[in-house]
Homo-oligomer: A and B are copies of this chain.
């Protein structure tokens, strides 16, 4: 509110009461008579009184808001997760401040410090691709700021975590390609430092090994910024295509990476899946109208966001310090479409 904005003081003056009485009446304290309460509540409602959250924050030391740090909003997985976060937060009367690291370590630090100094009551965070060191978060955590990690997590901080079953998701995707008869399956993935990268990589390798194949290092490409910088993806893809004994299929390990790879293959006039098959992690709602429609490992993004938020609020509102932390693993779903089907 800018101009007027009625305060407790105004109510007190109007009703000939003290501010403390009004405050207590509004909060329904037992030490205020029914009649006074009624008067105050009525007057408050009639004049559209809204407590000033800034003052409340200052006084109570909590802001009823939670901060979110993701690498990028403009990404189906994260925007869906944010929908989940928002739905729970609004239900529990918290509000949400969203920030983007854009895969930059610097910005992740800046955002986390900014949020904490703005007194968010807790943090939901998915690490940036550049992040190798989480000291900035450890510091905040030690100061008592509750936090929950989701998707891209770290082992260095003990707190609740929510992830998809990346290992199994990647395993199933790779196995599916193997079942279709592909043998030279390349893997384009994100920064090596990311937990999701490692987990999905392991799943990929496990599937190959279970099929009696050795992973070929030449077929594995790490893209530093997870597809945010198209040039990086393009370079990785070109290297694969220039091999004398190149891949007959590609498994891409992140949302942006998958769409970019498909787009690049199309620009190069490489037919999918005829020349190269493709399976990717993606939460794009348009995967079925791609050309070809894209076989995808989809994560329960909405549920992950919801769960992370529930855990965070639990942490925030817990009376005694929480010492037992959970790592929730939600299942992915493999949606088989055209891009991975062996042409007869």
Given A1-B143, A100-B83, A143-B1, A119 and B54 contact (CB-CB distance below 8 Å): yes
Distance (whole angstroms) from the CB of A110 to the closest CB of chain B: 8
Complexed CA–CA distance, A95 and B55 (Å): 19
Contact assessment for B259 and A286 in the assembled complex, using a CB-CB cutoff below 8 Å: yes
Residues of B within 8 A of A52 (CB): 58, 117, 119
Distance (whole angstroms) from the CB of A139 to the closest CB of chain B: 10
Complexed CA–CA distance, A57 and B285 (Å): 41
Residue of B nearest to A110 (CB): B90
Distance (whole angstroms) from the CB of A278 to the closest CB of chain B: 11
Residues of B within 8 A of A163 (CB): none
Complexed CA–CA distance, A259 and B285 (Å): 9
Q: Which of A1-58 contact B (CB under 8 A)?
A: 1-5, 50, 52-55, 57-58
> Using an 8 Å CB-CB cutoff, how does the interface string of A118-141 with B read, 1 for contact, 0 for none?
110000000000000000000000
Selecting from A74-82, A171-179, A213-221, the interface stretch reads A74-82
Distance (whole angstroms) from the CB of A336 to the closest CB of chain B: 16
Our pick among B5, B82, B97, B263 for the contact of A97 (Cβ within 8 Å) is: B97
The answer to whether A289 has its CB under 8 Å from any CB of chain B is yes
